[in-house]
Amino acid sequence: MANRKTFSDFNLKFKPHHHDFLIGYDVPDVGGEKRFPLSHVKNYFNMVDVTDIVDSMQLPLNNSEDTETKNVNGELIQPPPFLNGKIFHVKAEHNVTVTLPPMNENDKVQFVILNMSDDGIKVDIESKVGRFNARGGTLRHKFDNAYIYYDGFEWYGYGDLGDPMNIKDIVTREYVFQRGDEGKVLHFFPTETAKIILPPAKNFDRGTQFYAYNFSLQEITIETEDDSELFARHHRLLRKYDDAVIYTDGSRWFATGDLS
C-alpha cells in the first residue's frame, strides 16, 4: 500500500515516483475505474523547473534520474517528458543552436526558452525532424523568449521569434515591390537601366519598409505604380553600391539614402 497517497500529501514539495498512481474514473459508469500514473500530473504539484543552457544542444526527452520504464502489475509506465513545463534560460557566451528532439506520435509537451545572454548573442531554434512552425527561429536580443509546444505531430512556437536578415537577389529590368519583401535587403544586379516599381501605398501597413542596394554599374530608378506620392531628394540609384531605405506611412512612399 506504499503507493497510496491522500490529498494531504499533495503539496509543492511532493515528488511522485513513476510507479505511483491515482485511482480515478474515465467514464461515469460502474467499472469505469482507471489508474492514472502520478508522473503524468507531477507538474501540478511541483514548482516550475528552471534549467540553464550554456552551449548548443539537442533538448533531451527525459530526466537524467529514474528514466527507466516501470512495469507495474504488468502495465508499462513511461517516464514523463523532460521538456514539459520547464523554463530554459540560455546563458551563453556565443551564439547557440537549440535543437528540438524527435517525438513519439501523440506526445504533447510545452516549455519556454528565454535568451538571458548578453546583447549580440542569438539563439537559433530548429527541429531535428520535420518543421518548426513559427514566424521565425531566432531569439536575437536579451530577454527575447519563445513558448514552444508539440501537439502530437509537429513543433510550434510563438513569441519573440524572428528571422535572420533576409537577402534577396534581383536581376530583372523591372521589379515590383511585393508584400513578402517587407524588411528584406534587395540586392539588384541589372545588366541595363532598371526600375523599382512601388505598388499603391494604401495596400501596405504603416511602417512597411525594405532596403534597395545597387550592385551593378547601371542606373536604377524608383517609381510609383499609381498616383501615390514618393517623397525623396531624388529617385535614382546611379552608382554601384548606392543604397536606399524605402518605406510607407500607408498613404505615401518615402525614400532616403544614396539617391541622386
Cell numbers placing 3: 503507493
pTM: 0.53
Residue with grid cell 504539484, as numbered in its chain? 45
pLDDT of residue 66: 47
pLDDT of 153-183, one tens digit each? Answer: 899 999 999 876 678 899 999 999 988 888 8
pLDDT of 64-83, one tens digit each? Answer: 444 455 555 665 555 445 78
pLDDT of residue 127: 92
Q: Do residues 223 and 197 lie in contact, with contact meaning Cβ atoms separated by under 8 Å? A: yes
How are the residues of the chain apportioned to helix, strand and coil, as percentages rounded to the nearest 5?
5, 40, 55
Any bridge partners for residue 167, and if so which? 185
Domains of the chain, earliest start first: 48-159 (no CATH), 167-257 (2.60.120)
Query: CB atoms < 10 A from the CB of 83, how many?
Result: 22
pLDDT of residue 71: 56
Any bridge partners for residue 238, and if so which? none
Spans in the chain with pLDDT lower than 50: 1, 12, 62-67, 79-80
Could you give the 3-state DSSP secondary structure of residue 233? coil
